[in-house]
Chains A and B, each alone.
Chain A
Amino acid sequence: MMIAHVGNVETWATIITVAATAVAGDVLTAGAMRSIGDLDDIRAQSGLVGAIKAVVSSPMFLLGVLCMAGSFFSLLFTLSNVDLSLAAPASASLTFMGNAFAAKLFLKENVDRRRWLAAIFVCAGVALLAK
């Protein structure tokens, strides 16, 4: 089923908005989860409630969730105008590229050749998805 299409610029503007807010949300929550520690261990020690408490009491996590909520509503907006098979992989792949840069920059993750190669493949994939 084809959904009524908006202009190309607006399509990509909404997709990029979804990706940008998602990157901010991902990096913030990933940073928060790293500082909290292994959730499996926490759950083993203080139960599910303890694990949930540890997560939701982190301000960085809450800020990340705010960004994710923004991303979610822009995704809803995008999905009402753009085909799922374009919108979902395109925004997710752009998110992935942005995350590779942001993870190296902010989280100091070792984004090695293997991970950059993956990023390049995903980007080429996105270019093809948009055809």
Chain B
Amino acid sequence: MKHTLTPQRWLILIAVMLTASIGDTLLSHGMAQVGPVSMAHLGLLLSAMRNLWVVGGILCLLGFFASYLTALSWADLTFVLPSTAFGYVVVALLSKFWLHEQISIYRWLGIILIVCGVGFVANGPARTEHPGAEMDPLA
């Protein structure tokens, strides 16, 4: 199958990537304000819903879900997930420059490897044309 994604479909993949990483960052910021949740105080998770950052994170993740489902309706799961893994880079940048977390050289290397892995998948076809077709024995 040829690699034919329309600009609109690329936009949806970009939306999946951005909303997921921004949503996670908002949640993290909110949960840092809420404080550590222990097994003994799971009720704190419900009161976290009153935190504006957590609510903003949830709204972002709702947008993520809508675009993610749309992508899954025309592409393989194993295409959609790694294609959007560029979001890890966004998370790393947001963590470093906004949440001021320390990112070691190892984490940066890890992020680079993940991005390389994503490159392999993004170059391939989006959809398995013949489900159940014979698999490559080396695959």
Contacts and interface: CB of A to CB of B under 8 A. Distances in A.
Interface of A: 1-4, 26-27, 29-30, 33-34, 36-40, 55, 68, 72-73, 75-77, 79-81, 83-89, 92-93, 95-96, 99-100, 103-104, 107-122, 124-129, 131
Given A2-B102, A117-B117, A26 B77 contact: yes
Interface in B62-91: 65, 69-70, 72-74, 76-78, 81-82, 85, 88, 91
Contacts of A4: 36
A2 B95 CA distance: 11
Contacts of B15: none
Contacts of B24: 75, 79, 84, 88
B74 A40 contact: yes
Nearest to B100: A1
Interface residues of B, number: 64
A72 B8 CA distance: 28
Given A89-B88, A122-B118, 12 more contacts: A37-B73, A38-B73, A80-B35, A80-B37, A103-B77, A110-B135, A111-B139, A115-B139, A121-B116, A122-B117, A125-B111, A129-B111
Please classify the interface of chain A as helix (H, G, I), strand (E, B), loop, or mixed, using the class held by over half of its residues: helix
Interface string B1-42: 000000010000000000001001101100110111100001
Nearest to B112: A125
Contact of A115 (B78, B103, B111): B78
B73 A33 contact: yes
B111 A100 contact: no
Nearest to A124: B113
Nearest to B133: A110
B133 A122 contact: no
B35 A109 contact: no
A84 B101 contact: yes
Given A33-B73, A116-B139, A131 B106 contact: yes
Interface string B94-107: 01100111111011
Given A40-B74, A110-B133, A121-B114, A29 B107 contact: no
B92 interface: yes
